[in-house]
Amino acid sequence: MTARTTTRPDRLRTDEAGRPDGAAAVVIGGGLAGITAALELADAGLDVTLLEGRPRLGGLAFSFRRGELTIDNGQHVYLRCCTAYQWFLDRLDARHLAPLQDRLDVPVLDVGHPSGRPRLGRLRRAALPVPLHLAASLATYPHLSLAERAKVGRAALALRGLDPADPALDGVDFATWLRRHGQSPRTVEALWDLVGIATLNATADQASLGLAAMVFKTGLLSEPGAADIGWAHVPLGELHDTRARAALDAAGVRTALRTRAARITPRADGGWHVDAEAGPGTAERLDADAVVLAVPQRESHGLLPEGALDDPDRLLDIGTAPILNLHVVYDRTVLRQPFFAALGSPVQWVFDRTDSSGLAARGGAGQYLAVSQSAAQDDIDRPVAELRERYLPELERLLPAARGAVVEDFFVTRERTATFAPTPGVGRLRPPAPTNAPGLHLAGAWTATGWPATMEGAVRSGLSAAGAALSELGRPHRDPLREAAV
């Protein structure tokens, strides 16, 4: 094994007075949190190295090739209230590739109706102030009774009065609060869980009231357009790998793929050594004034130096939750909407990915649908044959046009640890960006962002970690989110 120390004098920066400035940073992890932190640190003038063990960037929001198609590992969306992720897209010059709806509009198909036929309802907003922006949609939502709709309005007003940052809310499950506010099991299924499972990756009984309040209060009860939905119209890899790498290169960041951090140790003169390995028989020692650890909680636990956290084992108590995605290629068009949500079926959300995958460019009349299944504990380990037998008939119930269609391909992607589990009590386990060790900071959607495990939370964590590192180094820096708000 060979080892070398990297100082990279060829990329030495200068300060405003033209004096040499050798401050260096190492970011460990190339997901959205790590990319964000690396860009912010480089923009502030630091010499940055980004280490990523995979052969690509993007973390758990990535793409891969399957034959002639480009497939996202899972369907990811964001909302208009996700200001950090929109900043991230702008930083990558990619906002136009993941546009938002002009106005929230979610088709909801119920196949549990007594008639046996799919019944369509819609959740959409009007151009009115909060909370009137959703009043008309709720008043005509066919999947709830008149009495249930009235009680939803009262619960929404009560929810609006909660403070998601109140520690007392963290220890209560959302379902208990909903029952106390008159929400029937049908209302939970047809409204609260319809949204909550997709955003929290948990059912109401498994979700912290604090996180649920944050989602619903921010997304539905803050600004009229806050819940407008956006999603990538190109493969996620185009955004989170190709364009992210281009942005990092332009910022002067050295990106080392297929390279893992083996250990972080303090330097005798202050700062850190980061020992990295790119494969058997290789080793590299990086010197850093600031280190951002932007990997999952268990991996972070294994790399943390002694004393960095008062109780590092609390990281191991942050659970994980799975997401399952089913991918179906039909020989014809079976869905005319870009997406829909389902009730009365194990199917949750279905998206048309025909254009983004490249299937449309092949010609023909085929269609590729991605079925996104959050909180998928019951299905995550089922064999593909069982999943096919379970879900293809459900899609035919929901989409009559699929009943005569030929399934040209059916495959599954599984993320068993897709997100941290937003269970009651998780808030007290999530650490802030700064640690007890000067110069060492944490990032990742699992840290104390106040958000659930979303792309928004990941980017916010990267901004927080970079901001904390720059403040500690005495570097002036801007707050992109505050600037965006202004």
Could you tell me the mean pLDDT of each successive run of 10 residues in the chain, 486 residues long? 37 40 90 98 97 97 96 97 98 98 97 83 94 93 96 94 96 98 97 97 98 96 95 98 98 97 95 92 92 98 97 98 98 97 97 96 91 98 98 97 96 98 98 98 98 98 98 87 59
Token pair, residue 354, equals 């025909």
Token pair, residue 432, equals 């802030």
C-alpha closest to that of 143 among 169, 173, 166, 122: 122
Q: How far is Cα 51 from Cα 254, in angstroms, rounded to an integer?
A: 9
Beta strands across the sheet bearing 284-288: 5-6, 284-288, 272-277, 260-266
DSSP string, 199-261: HHSS-GGGSBHHHHHHHHHHHHSSSTTTT-EEE-SS-HHIIIIIIHHHHHHHHT-EEEET-EE
Calculate ∠ Cα 189-348-75, nearest 5°.
135
Cα–Cα distances in angstroms (integers) from residue 62 to residues 50, 71, 110, 148, 236, in the given order: 18, 8, 31, 40, 5
C-alpha closest to that of 430 among 167, 69, 67, 143: 167
The pLDDT score that the predictor gives to residue 364 is: 81
Q: How far is Cα 182 from Cα 360, in angstroms, rounded to an integer?
A: 47
Query: Which residues have C-beta within 8 Å of that of residue 175, sequence separation ≥ 6?
Result: 188, 203, 204, 205, 207
**CA end-to-end span of the chain:** 53
DSSP string, 282-320: B-EEEEESEEEE-S-HHHHHHHPPTTSSS-GGGGGGS-E
pTM of the model: 0.94
CA dihedral 6, 11, 17, 21 (to 10 degrees): -10
Phi, psi of 159 (to 5 degrees): -65, -35
Q: Is 333 helix (H, G, I), strand (E, B) or coil?
A: coil
The pLDDT score that the predictor gives to residue 117 is: 82
Query: Which residues have C-beta within 8 Å of that of residue 176, sequence separation ≥ 6?
Result: 205, 209
- Indicate the burial class of 67 (C-beta count within 10 angstroms; 0-12, 13-18, 19 or more): exposed
- Indicate the burial class of 249 (C-beta count within 10 angstroms; 0-12, 13-18, 19 or more): exposed
Token pair, residue 287, equals 């010197």
Q: How far is Cα 267 from Cα 285, in angstroms, rounded to an integer?
A: 12
